[in-house]
Structures are given as structure tokens and as C-alpha cells.
Structure 1
């Protein structure tokens, strides 16, 4: 009678010794050889410039010196639905980790019941049931008990599963940061595009006023006997053409306003009046920030997509261990306690007791190559994750280089267009003065006026594009999430409506 418990104890202790074994490869980061700097940077960044940029990256939108933009960003971070969805995905990932970790602990279920069982007595030589010598076909049964099981994590299957779940949490956190960066980029881009469209609208309005002045001047010169009806018709045609340019710009402004509202988590159009009434009542573009300084190593450290790809590789590596552990024995301790009786007073007697306690070892013997195929699959997925990480790094560097190129070239492009706009304005003013004095043809006025309109509009478009380039560079550098702490979000569940057991076991 003492041999079985002694052997069982030795068996348990021997199994626990295996608990220190964790099969499968340990994660090792994949180190890529990075360049010392970016090719398209205008100069080698100094440590002071890098430190300044690192600080500015936390709230890079503040570099545009636009209070309204700052307020819209703060509102979007609180109310944007994509961010709220990303918050819930982090909660779900953490719950998956807790679910995986629960396998470390004994699993226990309790049961109780009662009723009547009827047995067949139509079989010859039916054995008498214990406690029922009359061999009655019916019996009252009361039962209660518990079933428990505990898996000994001898080869680290559970540990690898938990490790993979923890890496999945990291991936969801980085995905939330990427969502935040996308939100900031989309919002600032939409806001800059809106301000650019309003600037172009104000330029078009000014040109409409100039065209109206030209019509008035042509009519005045006609009445004074200097002009003719052809000049009036030409001026009227120009006025109609300039007026027609206003409607597409109005539509663009309204559409951009709707887009900004949705990014804030509001209904389209909620901000229309506020965005139309900009400070000072004059449409203008935000200021252009200073060119940021960065290094490839900083980009790798800050880009959420790179960080997520690295964490996904770590998760895939852990899942190799989960697959390898399937090839090893599985040790478990099942426990069943299930007394049965026909009367309540008998339910707790020794004779009613029924239980089993043992140590089980399961060894996979023949499964047609299923487990080895799972190992091959896990290793292939891990290698694919490693390669995806490398591709993500290369893509990130290309985006930074492209953004730097666009910023620097558009900077010079805007400067040239600004000079062209000034020269066109001077030529248009001289043509109007000469025409008013009767010293030139009205065709020269129309030509210089159209040239000025095109130059002003092209400059406004180029200035808007240059600001969009600044957004692209900050985003490609992985800026915007560093100063943002993860929100502590709770599921919208009313605890008062839960059952007593749900309250007791929920955290």
C-alpha cells in the first residue's frame, strides 16, 4: 500500500526536474548593418542638432506655430476612433497572454447533481447492483465532486506560448503607436491642405476683384472715348473666368473640413464655421519648421513599424518552441473526486466516496508527420518574419531619403516661384498703369494679369507641398508617439449587471 504513493512521488519529482527545460531557439535580434548617415541630408548632423530634433519629435506639429492645429491634434488624440480601436486590441492581446499563462496553474471544476436512473432488467443473469439486492430497475442518485488537472510544463510549451503572447502584446502596442502616427500625419496633412486651399481661394478672390476693376476701367475708358467695346468684352470674359475658379476651391475646402472633423471623431461639418473663421480672418499657411537632423539608428529605434516587425520576429521565434515541445512527452496530473449516493445522509459516507489521482505521461508516437510539419512551418514563419523586418528597415530608410529630397528641392522651388510671383506682380501693375494712360494695348494687361494669377497660384501650391514634405519627413522618422503614454482603457462593462461569480473572478 505504501509503494504506489512512494513511486508516484518519485515520478512527480522527476517530472518537475524537467520543468527547467525549455525547448526551441531563444530569440536573438537580427542586427542589420546601418549606414552612418542619410545620403540626402543637407549636412552632417551635429550632436546638438540631433538632441534638438529628438526633443522636437515628441510634439513635432508644434513646430508649425499654429495654435489651432495644436488644439485639433489634442482633440483628435482623445476622440479618434482608430486610436480607440487600437486601445481595445491591446487589451485583447493582454487577455490572450493571461489565457496562455493560466495553463501554468491547476484547472479545477466542481459539479453537483441529483435525479433518478432507471436500469434495464430484461437481460438474463443481470448482475445485482451494490446496495440494491432487490435489483430494482430504478435508483435515486445524488452526486457531487470535482475534476482537476495540472499540466507539468516539463519542456516549456506553456512558457513559449506565454512568451509568444507577450511579444504579441508588444506588436499591438507598436501597432497602436503606428496608428497614432498615421492619425497625426493625416490630420496635419489635411489641415495644411485646407489652409492651402483657403490661401488659393483668397488669391482667386483677389484676382476676381482685379478683374472687376479691369471691367470698370474698360467701361470708363470707353465712356471717355479712349477704349472700345472689344476691350470691355475681353475684360468681362476675364472676370467670368476668374469667378469660375472659386467654386472648385469652395468644394475642396468643404471636403477637407469634413475630413478633419471625422479625424477628430466628430460628424462631418461640425468644424466648418470654426475652420473658415481662421485667426485674423485671412487664410495663411503655417510656418515651415527647421530641417530636422537624424541618423539611421534613431529611425530604427523610433519607427513603430520597424519595432513591430522586430517584435513579430520575436513572437515567431517563440512559436518555434511551442511547436518543438509537441514532439516531447507531456506530463499531467488528473484528479477526479465524484461521490455517489441515493440519500443525502449517505453522500458523505466513506462507502460513497469515488476518486482517482495519478500521474500521466503522453508521448507522441505516430501522427503521420503532423508535429514535425508544424515545426517546419513555425521555422519558416520565423524566417519570413526576419526577412520582413529587414524589408521594413529598407523601406523606412527609402521613405526618409525621399522625404529629405522632396523637402530640400521644394525649398528651392518655392523660393524661385516666389521671385517669379513678385516679378509678375510688378509687370501686371505697370501694364495697368500704362493702359490707364492709354500707352499700351489691353492685351498686355490680360497677359500680365494671367501670368500673375498663375504665379501666385503655383507658389501657393508649392508652399503647401513643401509643408506636406515636412509632415512626410517627421512621419518617416517615426516622430509623434514618444511623448504619448498608453491610455488605461477599460471595457464598457457595468459590473453591477454581472453575476456574483463573474464579479468574483473578473480582475
Structure 2
């Protein structure tokens, strides 16, 4: 057959295959749009577009709303130093590398090789061909020098989009890893802010405990003085001493908890526990509660990383259906081999030493016992499960927001009432001590009012902490905090480009 005719047919076949490469099988991804409600059931305020725009800006760095410079500084350190966040960033880069591995199938795969040396064969074989010039019966040494070099290449023509669908799926996997990092960011910010509020709460309760120890000490001294004056008795002295010991003992767990919280904050910032202990133990008041944010239900779907990840998981699963469907169609490959061989260096470049192969190969699955159709059904089921999981993520997201809003509204009045109760109890305790000093009431009344005051003060402090945690929970439920924070990168000590000079030239 004429070599030119073969070349023309091969070129025509290759051209046709390349034109067919635009045919990508499998379903196209269509987002499963869930319509959010017109407004939250727990939000009666009709926000204006200007208020919502302002809220969107504020929620990007919601920790600033607490107006606490110390908290702002801790957040900045945690964003740059938190190891979980850095690990999540490395997983993004790993997923991108996996995506690039899949994309490499679009390009020809080329390798080269070379060999040289002596080849000696066994002579214990009948009718072994004698070397030229060797007489029969003489020593036969079937050996020769060998030189060879060449290269091989293979190019897979993606006619039906198997590679394209694989790259599409890996692109979605990259997006999922990005959302994973954003989720780590949201939870890290929530944990850090929650720990900080708990630290300030424990410091406040420690201050309350110290004040109550001081009051108990005064009551004990007063009881002793009255006894010496002939007014009191030893039972009252014992009661006063027991109260003083009880108040002193209640202070110690607070000190332990404060140390543990500072250690947790250090770990969130990526530093050894105890690094910031002296700095964090400086007593500061609880921050004020921010104003209730003006929000829209659509913010939940737009911002929450778990919902965004679920949507991308569904998109990835849809692309995997196309990968499975493409297995039913022909697979086209162009192999190319060029391998000159000779026994001497000057012969390597002669026409007689040339050896090459250029083909167009196609394979089509015929009978595999239903393997490929089963893989398609499996991919379809996985995609449908991902779609349903996305819908469940949306429902869970709205539930968390509604719960956080309800807690915010309900705890506001609760805190105000407890603050009034603490104020009234403190006034009652002060009056009871004065009446006891005047001999108008017994010491039991003093103990009762003091314990009531302590409980009221601690309840108020806890309620203030819950109000601050309500705000943190709402910001977290809305998926705020990751916007505008860039991916943290780290550099490994080994650079692949420095290990192999070819890596710089050919992007291996």
C-alpha cells in the first residue's frame, strides 16, 4: 500500500477524532435551587437594603463588632498561626495537584530511553547460527555489542469527554476543599471568640468571689467582735467561719479554669500553651453585646461553607456520571515509538538501524457482564444522594440561624431581669449586715442574703456570657468571617524544580 495513502487516511482519521472531541457525554450539572423564605420567622424587623448592605460589610469581620482591641489582636494572630487552618490550606493545594494530574491526560505522554553494552546468548541450543567466519565444530561465541536509543509517545484523544469530565470533577473537589478551609476558619473564629468571652466571664466571677470573700471576712470579724461584747455566741462564730471557708474554696476552681482557657487560646493561635498567660490574665470587662444584625435568608445559602461544599459535592458527583458513561464509548489512542538499534556507534544513525511505529488505535467495550452500566447506576445514585444531602444542609443551616435568633431575643430580657435581681440582692445583703450589727436580726438572715447575692451575681454574669455567645452563634450560623481572608501558603524545604533540570523545561 502506498505510504502516502496511509498517511492521508491516518491524518483524516485523526482530524475527525479531534472534531469529535467536542462531544462530551453525561449530564450537565444543573444547580438544585432551593428557594429561601422571604424572611426569618425570628426576625420581625423589616431591614432596608442599606441596612442589609451595611450588615454584609460588618459580618466579614464580625469580631470587630465587640469593640475589644484585645480580641481583634487574638484573631489576627490565629488567622496567621492556627495550624488547622494551615493544614486545610495544604489540602487545597493537594487537590489542585490531583486536578492537574487528571488534566495531564490531555497532552502527549513522551518518554525517552537509551541502552548500550554486550549481549551474549547460550550456545547449548541445537542449530545455533554460527557467527560469520566461524567453522563448524569450532568454539562458537554468539555475542555482540549493542547500542540503542529512542523515545515512545502516547496521546489519548478525548473524543467523548472522559478526561474532561474527570477534570471537571476534580475542579469541584478543589472547590470542596476551599469550602472545607472556610468552615475551619468559621469554627476557629467561633471557638476563639467563645473562649475569649469565657475568659472574661471567669475573671468577672473571680472578682465576684473575691468580693464575697471580703464580705465573709467582714462578717466573721463582726461576729467575733459582737461575741466579745457579749452579744453573739460561738455558733454564730462557727457559721461565719464556715461561710468564709466556703467562699475561699469556691475561688480556686475559677483560677484553674482561667489558666485552662488561656492555654486553649494559645493553641488556637498556634503557640505553646502559657505563652500569653500573663497578658491574657490581665482583667478586662466583658465586651458589650453588638446590635442585632439586619439579615436576609439568602445570606445563609451564600455564606455558609457547609452548604456551599454540599452544592459542589453534588456538582462533582454529576461529573462522575459523565466519567462512567464515557466508558461505554470508544477510546482512541495514538502510540508512537522510535527505537534505532545497532552494534556499533556509527551504525546507529544509518537507515538500516531505524525502527519506528505510528498507529491509530481504538478500543470499544463489548461484553463485561454489566460492569460499566452498574458503574453508571452507582454514579447516578451517588449524585442523587449528594443532591439530597445539599437540601438537608440548607435546612440545617436555616434551623441553626433561627435557633440563634430565638436565643438572642429571649436572652435579652432574661439578662435584664437577672441584673435587677443582683442589684436588689446586693442591697438586701448590705441592709442585713447593718441590722445584724445593730442586733435586730440573727446571723442566719445575714448568711441567707449573702448567699442569695452571690447566686444572683453569678447568674447575671452567666447571662451576660450567654448574650455574647448568642451573638457569636448567630454570626457562625450565618457563615460569616471567612470572606476576604486569603489562603495561607507554606513552602516545603525541597523544590522539585531544583531536583531535575528537565522539570523546568517540560513541566513533567
TM-score grouping bracket, smaller chain normalisation: over 0.9
Deviation at 1:329, TM superposition (A): 0.2
Whole-Å separation in 1 of the counterparts to 2:70 and 2:448:
39
Correspondence for 1:461: 462
Q: Rate the CA distance shift 1:506–1:359 in 2: closer, same or farther, 3 A.
A: closer
Q: What secondary structure, in the 3-state scheme, does the structure 2 residue paired with 1:351 have?
A: helix
Deviation at 1:350, TM superposition (A): 0.6
Residues 497 and 503 in structure 2, CA contact (< 8 A), matched pair in contact too: no
Correspondence for 1:390: 391
Correspondence for 2:235: 230
Note the 1:83-482 alignment, pairs <5 A.
83-126=85-128, 136-278=141-283, 283-482=284-483
Deviation at 1:353, TM superposition (A): 0.4
Q: Rate the CA distance shift 1:297–1:133 in 2: closer, same or farther, 3 A.
A: farther
Residues 86 and 489 in structure 2, CA contact (< 8 A), matched pair in contact too: no
Q: Rate the CA distance shift 1:503–1:133 in 2: closer, same or farther, 3 A.
A: farther
Whole-Å separation in 1 of the counterparts to 2:343 and 2:6:
32
Deviation at 1:44, TM superposition (A): 2.8
Residues 264 and 273 in structure 2, CA contact (< 8 A), matched pair in contact too: yes
**C-alpha deviations, 1:429-463, integer Å up to 9, x for none?**
11111111121111111111110000001111111
Correspondence for 1:493: 494
Residues 306 and 393 in structure 2, CA contact (< 8 A), matched pair in contact too: yes
Whole-Å separation in 2 of the counterparts to 1:358 and 1:118:
33
**C-alpha deviations, 1:134-159, integer Å up to 9, x for none?**
68521211110000000011001111
Deviation at 1:108, TM superposition (A): 0.2
Whole-Å separation in 1 of the counterparts to 2:269 and 2:457:
32
Whole-Å separation in 1 of the counterparts to 2:125 and 2:133:
16
**C-alpha deviations, 1:443-497, integer Å up to 9, x for none?**
1111111100000011111111111111110000010011312335444434686
Whole-Å separation in 1 of the counterparts to 2:307 and 2:67:
30
Whole-Å separation in 2 of the counterparts to 1:312 and 1:495:
32
TM-score (norm: length of structure 1): 0.95
From 74, 77, 82, the equivalent of 1:75 is 77
Whole-Å separation in 2 of the counterparts to 1:234 and 1:505:
87
Whole-Å separation in 1 of the counterparts to 2:194 and 2:414:
20
Deviation at 1:122, TM superposition (A): 3.8
Whole-Å separation in 2 of the counterparts to 1:128 and 1:235:
119
Q: Rate the CA distance shift 1:6–1:121 in 2: closer, same or farther, 3 A.
A: farther
Q: Rate the CA distance shift 1:27–1:492 in 2: closer, same or farther, 3 A.
A: farther
**C-alpha deviations, 1:217-268, integer Å up to 9, x for none?**
1112122222222221111110011011011111111111111110000111
Whole-Å separation in 2 of the counterparts to 1:277 and 1:374:
62
Whole-Å separation in 2 of the counterparts to 1:492 and 1:329:
44
Residues 86 and 488 in structure 2, CA contact (< 8 A), matched pair in contact too: no
Q: Rate the CA distance shift 1:42–1:238 in 2: closer, same or farther, 3 A.
A: farther
Whole-Å separation in 2 of the counterparts to 1:87 and 1:491:
13
Task: Quote the RMSD (CA, aligned, Å).
Answer: 1.7
Q: What secondary structure, in the 3-state scheme, does the structure 2 residue paired with 1:20 have?
A: coil
Between 1:344-353 and 1:136-145, the stretch displaced more is 136-145
**C-alpha deviations, 1:160-195, integer Å up to 9, x for none?**
111111111111111111111011001001111111
Deviation at 1:53, TM superposition (A): 1.3
> How many residue pairs end up in the alignment?
501
Deviation at 1:34, TM superposition (A): 1.7
TM-score (norm: length of structure 2): 0.95
Deviation at 1:33, TM superposition (A): 2.5
Q: What secondary structure, in the 3-state scheme, does the structure 2 residue paired with 1:110 have?
A: strand
Q: Rate the CA distance shift 1:39–1:488 in 2: closer, same or farther, 3 A.
A: same
Whole-Å separation in 2 of the counterparts to 1:362 and 1:473:
57
Between 1:144-153 and 1:96-105, the stretch displaced more is 96-105
Correspondence for 1:36: 38
Whole-Å separation in 2 of the counterparts to 1:269 and 1:505:
50
Between 1:497-506 and 1:213-222, the stretch displaced more is 497-506
**Structure 1: which 5+ residue stretches go unaligned?**
none
Whole-Å separation in 2 of the counterparts to 1:60 and 1:113:
66
Deviation at 1:506, TM superposition (A): 5.6
Deviation at 1:126, TM superposition (A): 4.6
Whole-Å separation in 1 of the counterparts to 2:177 and 2:66:
30
The reply on whether 1:59 has 2:64 as its aligned counterpart is no
Residues 186 and 482 in structure 2, CA contact (< 8 A), matched pair in contact too: yes
